[in-house]
Chain A
Amino acid sequence: MIDLLLQYPLIAALLTLVGLAAVFGALLGFAAVRFKTEGNPIADEINNILPQTQCGQCGYPGCRPYAEAIVNGEDINKCPPGGEAGINALADLLDVEPIPLDEEHGEEKLAPAVAFIREDECIGCTKCIQACPVDAILGAAKQMHTVIASECTGCDLCVEPCPVDCIDMLREEESLQSWHWQLPDPISRRADVIASDASADESSQDRAA
């Protein structure tokens, strides 16, 4: 055998290559089975960026379906709760140009809201409970319902089904706990104003007045 190989180096080379191919093929095949990724990792990453309000304003029944739609080429500007920051993050992740929010799907809200049920008006129809995408409403048929404020995503989905219109979306007021320092006002740091400019500004304003 060794004599044969020595006689025909071509066969030796061929055998070596076939052997290598077999080994690496087996290795790759094993890796494909052993390290198989469940689901779509890009959809997961997109889903992580989406705000998870599950409001359906994008036209999909929840954030996950929209994430999957984005993977399949849907526009990234259909999520009003995520707003500009969300679009920028998506654009970063997918390496595309950020585009302005699609007004058709709603406007970005400045402060988060929480649903509130006016309890003496509630008739206990359970319609809002069925509408809530995160099970944040507590109640039973013919019993008064209430919203678990800490679980509410402010998606508005419970407002429409209520037959007696007893659900309000309350904006969260800034409190001592939620207050925080703001970035310095850029207008107060007009860096390029020199003394003569400032006086010229004032005099022109005086004249205008």
Chain B
Amino acid sequence: MRKTYDFHGGIHPPENKHQSVRTPIADAGIPPQLTVPLSQHIGAPAHPVVSIGDHVLKGQVIAEARGFVSVPKHAPSSGSVIAIEDRLIAHPSGHLAPCIVIATDGKDEWLQRQIPPDYQALKKTELIDLIRNAGIAGMGGAGFPSSVKLSVKEGTHIETLIINGTECEPYITADDILMRERADQIIEGTKILRHIIAPQETLIGVENNKPEGLAALRAAAEGTGIEIVEFPTKYPSGGEKQLIEIITGKQVPSGGLPSQVGVVCQNLGSAVAIYEAVVLGHPLISRITTVTGESVREPQNFQVLIGTPMRYLLEKAGYEAQKNNRLIMGGPMMGFTVPDSDVPIVKTTNCLLAPTESELPTPPPAQACIRCGLCAEACPVSLLPQQMFWFAQSKELEKLEEHNLFDCIECGACSYACPSNIPLVQYYRASKAEIVHLQHEHEKSEHSRIRFEARQERLDQAADEKEAKRAARKQAAEARAQQADGGAEDPIQAAIERAQAKKAAQQASGASTVSELERLEQAVVTTRKRLDTASTKLDQATAEGSDLVSALQLGVDKTRAKLEVAEQALQEFQQTPTVAPVEDSPTNAAQAAIEKAMAARASEAALSPSEKAQVQLEKLQQRLQKSQDTLARSRENGEDEKVIEALEASVARLTEKISAAQDQRNAGENA
């Protein structure tokens, strides 16, 4: 007989287990509809791989795992997918979650099953993949994917593998009935786990309030080297860390994992699921669920398909809804009230408790804390619940963390022990959530700060660069101005000089008749080229049905006209090759223009500001007159609308300019 240890605290609530173990496991059958939530485990929700209307077979993957901490979902029975939508699930929040709804066809037709090879021949990683692909998540309560738990880091030495058959919470008998009826499967599943983990010793821990189960297990474990450890009943000995302490005497450090003390724990139900997956090739599509409480006439254990509505299962057990005050998923200590009896059974539903008001009364109003310390005596993790209660009330979150709030396993022993009926666990749950929320917020604000600072830096840098460029431009302009001081006096002078130089060059080269001919020929060639490109563009635009067709058409026509003119000119020139050169006139015109400009500049320089403004004004008025004439002409000729609009706009601009010039002149006169 192995020596067992005791852990601090604990309570002895009424067990109420005998009601549901009087009859063997019953098959709940196939309900008309199965609702499979995509997230039944801790970690990332699975991703659906079927669509509405698909026919699915029993055991077919309907949703794939996403990420490392995730498991796939399988169709619990054959039928067709009728909805993939948000449905109410068993969660204390009453929120909706994505589910795949299957209308069953009653045939329960299996997918072609692949019986895996003998597990002894498989490698550790292959076995873990097999377990993951079978969708196995911890069936004790939290639903942590078993494959993750089994993937112990390389180099971690595991001394002990513990199968948790404690089932310490009142009312629940799902594991008890498994031990009584399927001890062989438990032992087989344990052997597979032993093969994966390769520990020095393999133990199954069971409380001494299950003598039949213990006897069955002992008989099945005969000669396998698996030891069955029996220890006194106390709540919450089924907590992972508590069980490790009971069996090995070692305490898992605060915030640590069992593997740190060389232990891996698995639930007894998970061991059976692993047996079914590895030996039979069944994915996890059904489980044992206890239906109990005074509101059901025949409390018993059911083999039930995942996704079965709770109401369907309750009715199988003779549910009397009017007697039931609230429906609880899980046990009376750690379970929660489900929002509606239509929510589906999930992989973690070990118990459905439908008590009457007299059986599990609504808690009376809480009284003041009298600092009796009973909660501290009951706490299995040796925390100071009364102290944490004060901190939670006054929201002193830092102090709560200092008092190791996160080691609280939310077992509810303190609330049970409290003579003032204070819902202590709820304070801790809320405070934990608040701390996590604040941490997230702080992380986010830190992230925003970094982004803000990065942006600020970038903007500063851009401003600096702009400033540097501006300075460089200014310097360059100054340098140019200095240079200009030595050279040409101003741009007009420079332009005149350029024009004169050009003319001189032209004269020097001697504008012969040959070059004139060349020029004309060149003009014809370029115009033809332009006509070609314009026509292609027009064709393209017509093909595409663009808005630009009319404009392009206009362009083509104009170019064609130009081409004709050019060709005519060329012909004329060729016909009269000895025509007298009329080069005098352009030379004279240029000369005249230069002279005019110089005269204008000279006269301008002599004028006073107001006179200048006057001149400007007159010029503008002349331009206005001209524009108005053009506008009137185009109107008469019925030109294109766009042309008229443009002309009107230019008239308006000129009018504006005139009024501005008038203002300027007036100002000049006043001065």
In the assembled complex, A180 has its CB within 8 A of some CB on chain B? yes
Taking CB atoms, residues of chain A closer than 8 Å to B503 are none
Q: Report which of B91, B365, B434 forms a contact with A176, defined as CB distance below 8 A.
A: B91
Taking the nearest CB of chain A, how far is it from the CB of B306, in angstroms?
Answer: 18
Report the nearest B residue to A61, measured CB to CB.
B456
Determine whether the beta carbon of A52 is less than 8 Å from that of B449.
Answer: yes
Taking the nearest CB of chain A, how far is it from the CB of B450, in angstroms?
Answer: 9
Determine whether the beta carbon of A62 is less than 8 Å from that of B452.
Answer: yes
Q: Report which of A63, A183, A191 forms a contact with B449, defined as CB distance below 8 A.
A: A63
A98 to B41, CA, bound (A): 44
In the assembled complex, A193 has its CB within 8 A of some CB on chain B? yes
A164 to B598, CA, bound (A): 54
A52-B437 contact given A181-B429, A183-B427, A184-B366, CB 8 Å threshold:
no
Report the nearest B residue to A112, measured CB to CB.
B441
Determine whether the beta carbon of A181 is less than 8 Å from that of B452.
Answer: no
Report the nearest B residue to A182, measured CB to CB.
B430
Determine whether the beta carbon of A180 is less than 8 Å from that of B437.
Answer: yes
Q: Report which of B368, B433, B434, B454 forms a contact with A191, defined as CB distance below 8 A.
A: B368
In the assembled complex, B92 has its CB within 8 A of some CB on chain A? yes
A188 to B91, CA, bound (A): 22
Determine whether the beta carbon of B93 is less than 8 Å from that of A179.
Answer: yes
A interface footprint on B38-75 (CB within 8 Å = 1, 0 otherwise): 01000000000000000000000000000000000000
Q: Report which of B365, B420, B437, B454 forms a contact with A190, defined as CB distance below 8 A.
A: B365
Taking CB atoms, residues of chain B closer than 8 Å to A182 are 430
Taking CB atoms, residues of chain B closer than 8 Å to A193 are 365
A80 to B628, CA, bound (A): 62
A188 to B367, CA, bound (A): 10
A51 to B445, CA, bound (A): 6
Determine whether the beta carbon of A47 is less than 8 Å from that of B422.
Answer: no
Measured as residues with beta carbon below 8 angstroms from the partner, the interface class of chain B is: 35 or more
Interface residues of A in 15-52 (CB under 8 A from B): 47, 50-52
Taking CB atoms, residues of chain A closer than 8 Å to B96 are 176
- Among A50, A135, A174, A183, max chain B CB count under 10 A is at A183
Taking the nearest CB of chain A, how far is it from the CB of B457, in angstroms?
Answer: 12
In the assembled complex, B193 has its CB within 8 A of some CB on chain A? no
Determine whether the beta carbon of A133 is less than 8 Å from that of B452.
Answer: yes
Q: Report which of B368, B423, B447, B455 forms a contact with A133, defined as CB distance below 8 A.
A: B455
Decide if the interface of chain B is mainly helix, strand, loop or mixed. Answer: helix
A134 to B97, CA, bound (A): 32
A180 to B92, CA, bound (A): 9
Taking CB atoms, residues of chain B closer than 8 Å to A184 are 366, 423, 426-427, 430
A181 to B367, CA, bound (A): 21
Interface residues of B in 158-186 (CB under 8 A from A): none
Taking CB atoms, residues of chain B closer than 8 Å to A63 are 449, 452
In the assembled complex, B448 has its CB within 8 A of some CB on chain A? yes
Determine whether the beta carbon of A181 is less than 8 Å from that of B422.
Answer: no
A61 to B455, CA, bound (A): 13
Determine whether the beta carbon of B430 is less than 8 Å from that of A135.
Answer: no
In the assembled complex, B446 has its CB within 8 A of some CB on chain A? yes
Taking the nearest CB of chain B, how far is it from the CB of A180, in angstroms?
Answer: 3
Determine whether the beta carbon of B430 is less than 8 Å from that of A183.
Answer: yes
In the assembled complex, A189 has its CB within 8 A of some CB on chain B? yes
Taking CB atoms, residues of chain B closer than 8 Å to A53 are 445, 448
A interface footprint on B414-452 (CB within 8 Å = 1, 0 otherwise): 000000101100110111111011000100111111011
Q: Report which of B91, B436, B452 forms a contact with A54, defined as CB distance below 8 A.
A: B452
Determine whether the beta carbon of A176 is less than 8 Å from that of B93.
Answer: yes
In the assembled complex, A175 has its CB within 8 A of some CB on chain B? yes
Taking the nearest CB of chain B, how far is it from the CB of A52, in angstroms?
Answer: 4
Taking CB atoms, residues of chain B closer than 8 Å to A160 are none
B interface footprint on A132-174 (CB within 8 Å = 1, 0 otherwise): 0111100000000000000101000000000000000000001
In the assembled complex, B113 has its CB within 8 A of some CB on chain A? no
Report the nearest B residue to A151, measured CB to CB.
B451
Determine whether the beta carbon of A189 is less than 8 Å from that of B365.
Answer: yes
A197 to B420, CA, bound (A): 18
Taking the nearest CB of chain B, how far is it from the CB of A55, in angstroms?
Answer: 10
Taking CB atoms, residues of chain A closer than 8 Å to B446 are 52
Taking CB atoms, residues of chain B closer than 8 Å to A133 are 452, 455
In the assembled complex, B623 has its CB within 8 A of some CB on chain A? no
A176-B97 contact given A62-B452, A134-B455, CB 8 Å threshold:
yes
Taking CB atoms, residues of chain A closer than 8 Å to B449 are 47, 52, 63-64
Taking CB atoms, residues of chain B closer than 8 Å to A50 are 445
Taking CB atoms, residues of chain A closer than 8 Å to B393 are 183
- Among B420, B429, B454, max chain A CB count under 10 A is at B429
A193 to B368, CA, bound (A): 11
Interface residues of A in 97-115 (CB under 8 A from B): none
Determine whether the beta carbon of B452 is less than 8 Å from that of A191.
Answer: no
A64 to B454, CA, bound (A): 13
A33 to B368, CA, bound (A): 58
Taking the nearest CB of chain A, how far is it from the CB of B247, in angstroms?
Answer: 32
Taking the nearest CB of chain B, how far is it from the CB of A78, in angstroms?
Answer: 17
Determine whether the beta carbon of A181 is less than 8 Å from that of B426.
Answer: yes
Determine whether the beta carbon of A189 is less than 8 Å from that of B455.
Answer: no
Taking the nearest CB of chain A, how far is it from the CB of B490, in angstroms?
Answer: 40
A135-B93 contact given A184-B427, A189-B422, CB 8 Å threshold:
no
Interface residues of B in 358-414 (CB under 8 A from A): 365-368, 392-393
Report the nearest B residue to A180, measured CB to CB.
B433
Taking the nearest CB of chain A, how far is it from the CB of B66, in angstroms?
Answer: 14
Q: Report which of A54, A181, A188 forms a contact with B448, defined as CB distance below 8 A.
A: A54
Interface residues of B in 632-669 (CB under 8 A from A): none
In the assembled complex, B466 has its CB within 8 A of some CB on chain A? no
Report the nearest B residue to A135, measured CB to CB.
B455
In the assembled complex, B95 has its CB within 8 A of some CB on chain A? yes
Taking CB atoms, residues of chain B closer than 8 Å to A52 are 444-446, 448-449, 452
Determine whether the beta carbon of B95 is less than 8 Å from that of A175.
Answer: yes
Taking CB atoms, residues of chain B closer than 8 Å to A190 are 365
Q: Could you list some 14 contacts between A and B, CB below 8 A?
A: A52-B452, A53-B448, A63-B452, A153-B445, A174-B95, A175-B95, A181-B92, A181-B430, A182-B430, A183-B431, A184-B430, A189-B422, A191-B420, A193-B365
Which 7 pairs, one residue from A and one from B, show the smallest C-beta to C-beta distance?
Answer: A180-B433, A189-B366, A52-B445, A181-B429, A179-B93, A52-B448, A134-B451
16 additional A-B pairs beyond A52-B449, A176-B96, A188-B366, beta carbons within 8 Å, are A52-B448, A53-B445, A62-B452, A135-B451, A135-B454, A151-B447, A151-B451, A153-B448, A174-B95, A176-B97, A179-B95, A180-B434, A181-B92, A183-B426, A184-B427, A192-B368
